[in-house]
Homo-oligomer: A and B are copies of this chain.
Amino acid sequence: MKLSNKNLSNKDLKRLLLDASVTSIVKEIDHASPERSYLIFNLLPTNKADKVFNLIEPVSQANILKEIDTKKALVILEEMEPDDRARLFEELPEDKSSQLLKRLSAKERRATSLLLQYPAETAGRIMSPFFVSLRANMSVEQALTKVRAEGREAETIYMLPVVDDSYSLQGVVELEELVMATPNQLIENLMHKGAKCFSVNDDQEKVARYIQSTDALAVPIVEEPGRVVGIVTIDDAMDIMEDEETEDMFRAGASGTLGKPYLSVPVFRLLQIRVIWLAFLAIAGTLTVKVLNIFESTLNEVIVLSLFIPLLIGIGGNTGAQSATTIVRALAVEDVRVSDFFVIASREMLVGILLGLTLGTFAYIVVYFAFQQNIVLIVSLSLVAICTLAALTGSLMPILARVLNLDPAVVSAPFVSTIIDATGLLVYFLIAQMILQF
């Protein structure tokens, strides 16, 4: 008997859930339809239910919360971390979330409202407002006593901001350092002064990337003018990076993200997510029909030219995608800046020319035996021109996006390919006309 078997009786399912690991139950709920998610959750032994609820996706949490009675929902919500609760509230219908928010305890309600006042994807929205703060003049022993007294309420005590009377950041201490230090040592001498902090309005990805590159366990988040109001932890950072990268990956695949497990997304929703991208790219693609229309007489005379259309635009699209992917990534991890655009353009153009020369020479030799001399020349020269143009366009488009204050990742491979298709055809036929006329 397996948990994933949908024909189990409730009794069998209940027995299975008794022994199943939390991870496997979480996976099963995230896979299941809303109805089945609710069923499984209801059959869980109480000691597992809390743990499972905290680990499933916000969408699954919302599906379950919509079904269970308000009293039970409030018990669960009261136990959640404010940042997880804020994420769950985003998934609930407006009326349901405001109804539940109103009935939370004052402390938890305030914490959640605090986060919800910041826009989505900012540090303020994802931070945890419950942390233990220390003072510079405390001894290690006093600090540990404070941590023990307040630690249960905090999301994490691994990183402890040190603040002054006006709650402005003096430094941070890690729990590890506190444990290893001698009891009478002063926090002042232990703390990292000049520790990096972020503003509530900073982009969540910026905070996550900082945590990743420095291996910090958490970073303090401050409100103007420098008051510490929360912390963002490394596990939050990891989830953010994962989400951002899933998003980029779907963009590279000409599609939006699903937001929930594949099998729980209805076919109609899949259609919805994809048709917008596809329609947009198709409309951009009609440019190729226009270009070919212009050269219809050339095509009519030398029909063999049409044989190479898919190959040439395919290579152009791939070359452009290579450059775009490289530069989008380099911009994201701040390997390059907008001001490097001239270096980038020269490098990519050079790579493009070299790629074109390599493939062009190769094509010249292969096509030489099968086609007329002038066709061979047209195809080879077009390859050089198309590769150069594609590499240049592909590398400059993400930079242009950044200049226009857009996420460079919008310049995804399918987008670049579509743009380059039409340009490539234009180049191909111009070269063809030039060579065939002389």
Contacts and interface: CB of A to CB of B under 8 A. Distances in A.
Main secondary structure of the interface of A (DSSP, over half): helix
A245 B196 CA distance: 27
A263 B176 contact: no
Interface string A305-347: 0111111011101110110111101100111100010011001
Interface string A250-294: 101111001001110001001100110111011001101100110
Given A270-B351, A303-B303, A307-B296, A279 B359 contact: yes
B308 A306 contact: no
Interface stretch (A10-18, A97-105, A111-119, A147-155): A147-155
A116 B252 CA distance: 35
Interface in A126-179: 144, 147-148, 151-152, 156-158, 175-176, 179
B315 A282 contact: yes
Given A253-B413, A254-B413, A262-B327, A322 B234 contact: no
A237 B81 CA distance: 23
A241 B208 CA distance: 13
Number of this chain's copies in the complex: 2
A434 interface: no
Given A245-B245, A314-B281, A325 B425 contact: no
Contacts of A21: 194, 196
A212 B239 contact: yes
A425 B358 CA distance: 27
A350 interface: yes
Given A176-B156, A234-B238, A288-B310, A355 B303 contact: no
Contact of A278 (B238, B253, B277, B355): B355
Contacts of A368: none
Given A23-B214, A147-B179, A425-B310, A326 B253 contact: yes
A108 interface: no
Of the four ranges (under 10, 10 to 19, 20 to 34, 35 or more), the interface on chain A belongs to 35 or more
Nearest to A156: B176
A299 interface: yes
Contact of A180 (B151, B180, B325): B151
Interface of A: 21, 23, 26-27, 30-31, 55, 144, 147-148, 151-152, 156-158, 175-176, 179-180, 194, 196, 210-215, 217, 234-235, 237-239, 241-242, 245-246, 248-250, 252-255, 258, 261-263, 267, 270-271, 274-275, 277-279, 281-282, 285-286, 288-289, 292-293, 296, 299-300, 303-304, 306-311, 313-315, 317-319, 321-322, 324-327, 329-330, 333-336, 340, 343-344, 347, 350-351, 354-355, 358-359, 362, 366, 413-414, 417-418, 421-422, 425
